[in-house]
Amino acid sequence: MQYGRAVGSAVAVVGLRREFGGRRGQPVVTALKDVNLQIPEGEIHGLLGPNGAGKTTLCKILSTVLLPTRGSVEICGYDVESETAAVRRLIGIVFGGERGLYTRLTARGNLEFWASLYGLSGTQSQRRVGQLLERLGLDQRADTRVETFSRGMKQRLHLARGLIGDPRVLILDEPTTGMDPVAAQEFRTLVTSLQTEGRTILVTTHDMAEAEAICDRVTLIDHGSVLATERPSTLGRWITRYARVRASGLLPAQVAPVTAALSGLDGVATVHEVAEGTLLVDTAADGAAPAVMRLLLDLGITDVATTRPDLAEVYLRVIGNRGMRVDR
């Protein structure tokens, strides 16, 4: 089967903007502003960002459920707005959570339903559904009602459903939400195996570890803008470098002097009291975190831990744009 017009980009987004509201005096909210993104064929591409960053809006536009306000979006060379029918045959969508499945039908029943929507005839559908059930390890439970499935099994069924039309581009929106770690790991292994078939996979997540585990490249998105597209290892390095230190159990009288002392250290970006007696210290230079910890211990504060910083914040610190606030 021949797919696509242009060889090269599976996903090409140029100058994409999406606004909501603006009707009957509602304020206009801009969910995406001037997004550019190129994903070559066969890549697993991560879309990383906090909740509300615009990841899902982008996925909705790519999957033809939402129209762009401005800009052009192409899937394998087909425009999502003017060549919708072609795009719909090229994509598959999977989103996380329990929704979108027919719980009263069996796993096979679900897949057969979706097979009909993708134009598969009876025998084609039978063959394809059988293959997918086996491939996703659902063949033993194929004829059980979905309402009895575990979260992990439901998610595998979701993935099977997303694959029913043999898509060239698979869009996964927070696919591992609510899964236990073991199931999430299994799921990631499955996703990686899809790449070997030459499919392009776009996966959104707010979990850096997940992005590092499966993605070839990651696009960092926040407030509707693309901040950077990097290899996950690069992002990973930033994260370990710019550690975040959490100190708890401070007496009310200690908070102000300790904050002042920490702020005076080299490489400390911010110090916030996030809860009563708990300080969060963000660093922005190599070696700053150990210094912070030493100072805290010297001041007699022993309830100290380091955590991974928020990726978007790290990015902002790296590019030195401290004026931009990132809300979670």
Q: Is 13 exposed, middle or buried (0-12, 13-18, 19+ CB in 10 A)?
A: buried
For residue 100, state whether it binds another protein (rule: CB under 8 A).
Answer: yes
Count helices and strands in the chain by DSSP H and E runs: 11, 14
CA dist., res. 32 & res. 47, Å (int): 13
Distances (CA, A) of 294 to 242, 247, 278, 287, 304: 16, 12, 17, 11, 10
Sign of CA dihedral 221, 222, 224, 226: negative
Distances (CA, A) of 268 to 249, 284, 296: 20, 6, 13
Edge-first strand order for the sheet with 217-222 is 91-95, 169-173, 200-205, 44-48, 217-222, 225-230
Contact 148, 101 (CB under 8 A): no
Q: How far is the CB of 63 from another protein (least distance, A)?
A: 5
In the bound state with another protein, the residue whose beta carbon lies nearer, of 2 and 196, is 2
Q: Of 6, 7, 65, 305, which one interacts with another protein (CB under 8 A)?
A: 65
Site size toward another protein, by CB under 8 A: 48
Q: Of 109, 130, 137, 267, which one interacts with another protein (CB under 8 A)?
A: 109
Q: How far is the CB of 122 from another protein (least distance, A)?
A: 8
For residue 112, state whether it binds another protein (rule: CB under 8 A).
Answer: yes
Q: Of 15, 119, 198, 290, which one interacts with another protein (CB under 8 A)?
A: 119
Segment near another protein (CB under 8 A); pick from 64-72, 217-225, 237-245, 251-259: 64-72
CA dist., res. 207 & res. 211, Å (int): 6
Q: How far is the CB of 59 from another protein (least distance, A)?
A: 7
CA dist., res. 199 & res. 142, Å (int): 25
For residue 78, state whether it binds another protein (rule: CB under 8 A).
Answer: yes
Termini Cα distance of the chain: 44
Q: Of 85, 233, 253, 323, which one interacts with another protein (CB under 8 A)?
A: 85
In the bound state with another protein, the residue whose beta carbon lies nearer, of 26 and 233, is 26
Q: Of 7, 14, 28, 67, which one interacts with another protein (CB under 8 A)?
A: 67
In the bound state with another protein, the residue whose beta carbon lies nearer, of 82 and 233, is 82
Q: How far is the CB of 202 from another protein (least distance, A)?
A: 14
Interface contacts to another protein, rule CB under 8 A: 2-5, 18, 20, 56-57, 59-60, 63-67, 76, 78, 83, 85-86, 88-91, 93, 95, 97, 99-105, 109, 112-119, 121-122, 161, 165, 173
